[in-house]
Amino acid sequence: MLATAAVTAGGLLLPSREIQAATTDVGETDHFWYRLAPEHPYIDSQRGNKAFGFGLGKVYLSEDNGKTWPHEAVFRNADNITFSCILGNGNILFATRTKLYLSTDNLKTHTQIIVKDLDGSDYVPHTSLDPDTPGWYFHSLDGEHTWEVEGAEMLVWGNYCNVLGGAVPVNIYYSTDQGRTVKIAYSFGENPAFQQPGSKEQDWLGNPDNPVMARHIHSVAYNPVENAFYACTGDHDRDDNHECHWLRGSYDTARDSWDWKVLVSVNSNSRFKSGGINFVDGRLYWAADANGTNGTMPHDRGLFYVTPRPRGCGKAHDDVQSEIRIGEHDHRRRCDFVGTLCARFAL
C-alpha cells in the first residue's frame, strides 16, 4: 500500500492509503475503450489523466484516470461538494453548497476563496432561514469550464440552482489566475419565484438592479473565433417574466471588465430553451429543451447549429441549418437572431 501524508486546512496529519479501482470491468465500443468507475470515490471532474473525487468525509486526486488515488485529505463536508475543476497548472478549485476552496498542492492543503462581487467587495452568501437548505451557489450543469483566452487559461461557469437545496442568486463566475481569485461576471435579478420561504422583499436574493431574471444557468461556452462567451438559462415562464435567455459576453483583459448583451428572451416552448450550447470551429450547436405548454405546438425541438455573424448583417446563410428535420418538412425561412446571429433553419 502506498502511504502519504495529507494535511487538511485544520492542520490534521492523516495517513493516506491508495484506493484501488477494479481493473476487470473493461470493454470497448466501435469508438472507444472504457473501464467502469470504482464504487468509491465519486468522480466529480477530470482533466487529462487526473480525476478529482470525494466521499466518506474525504477528497481524492488520481493521476492515472481513476485507477489509483494516491492523494487524499480529510474534508468533513465532502458529501456536500457541488462543483470542482482541475486547472491547467494543477490547482483544484472545489465548492460545497456555499463555499469555495482551492488546493495548489495536490490536496495536501486547501484554503477558502472569497468571491468578489461586481463592485469588488466580498460576495458573502446569505444566511439561510433554514440551515439545512443554504442553496447551491456554485453547482454547474455543463462540464467544460476552462478555455484559453488571449493566451491564458480562463475559468468561467454559471450555477445551476434553485432545484434542490434552497434558494440562491443566479450568477456567472470567473477566474483568470488559476482559481486564486474568483469574481462575479454577471448577476441575474431578483426572481420572485425563487426566494426563501417567509423572506421579506427587501431580503430577496439576486441583483436588484438587473431586470433580467432566471431560475438557473444551463451552460456557459466560449467561441474563440469571436473571442466571446455565450450563456443560456432556464427554465419557464412565470407571469410576464421569461426565464429562458441567451447572453453574449465580451471580456476586456486589460480592464478586467465584462460587457454582456441579452440576445434573446423567450418562452419555454422555444428552440432557444436549451440545456447546453457548444462551439466547434466557430459554429454554435445546441439541442432544444422546449417543454412548455404555451406558444405554438408541437414543441419546437431538434438539434440546431448557427454561425455567429456581425450584428445586423441581415442575410440568410445557406451553410446554417437544422441538424434534424422534423417530419418530412423542408421549408426555409430567414431568422434574424436579435440582430446578432443571422441564420437559415430547415424546420
Question: Mean pLDDT score of the chain, rounded to an integer?
Answer: 84
| CATH class given for the domain over 3-310 | mainly beta
**Nearest to residue 332, comparing CAs of 344, 341, 343, 322?**
344
Which CA distances in Å does 315 have to 177, 190, 247, 308?
40, 37, 21, 12
Confidence of residue 310 (pLDDT cuts 50, 70, 90): low
Model confidence, pTM: 0.84
| Residue at grid coordinates 441581415 | 314
The whole-angstrom separation of Cα 92 and Cα 150 is 22
The yes-or-no verdict on residue 342 having pLDDT over 70 is: no
Cell of 271: 428552440
Residue-wise pLDDT for 77-111, tens only, equals 999 999 999 999 999 999 999 999 999 999 999 99
The whole-angstrom separation of Cα 72 and Cα 114 is 23
Which residues make beta-bridge pairs with 220? 231
Higher pLDDT, 174 or 240: 174
Residue-wise pLDDT for 103-157, tens only, equals 999 999 999 999 999 999 999 999 999 999 999 999 999 989 999 999 999 999 9
The whole-angstrom separation of Cα 343 and Cα 128 is 45
Domains in the chain: boundaries: 3-310, 311-347
The residues near 327 (Cβ < 8 Å, ≥ 6 apart) are none
The whole-angstrom separation of Cα 170 and Cα 189 is 8
Which CA distances in Å does 13 have to 7, 101, 109, 148, 292?
5, 19, 11, 37, 53
For residue 232, the tally of other CB atoms under 10 A from its CB is 26
**Nearest to residue 232, comparing CAs of 191, 306, 286?**
286
3-class secondary structure per residue, 282-342:
CEEEEEECCCCCCCCCCCCCCEEEECECCCCCCCCCCCCCECCCCCCCCCEEEEEECCCEE
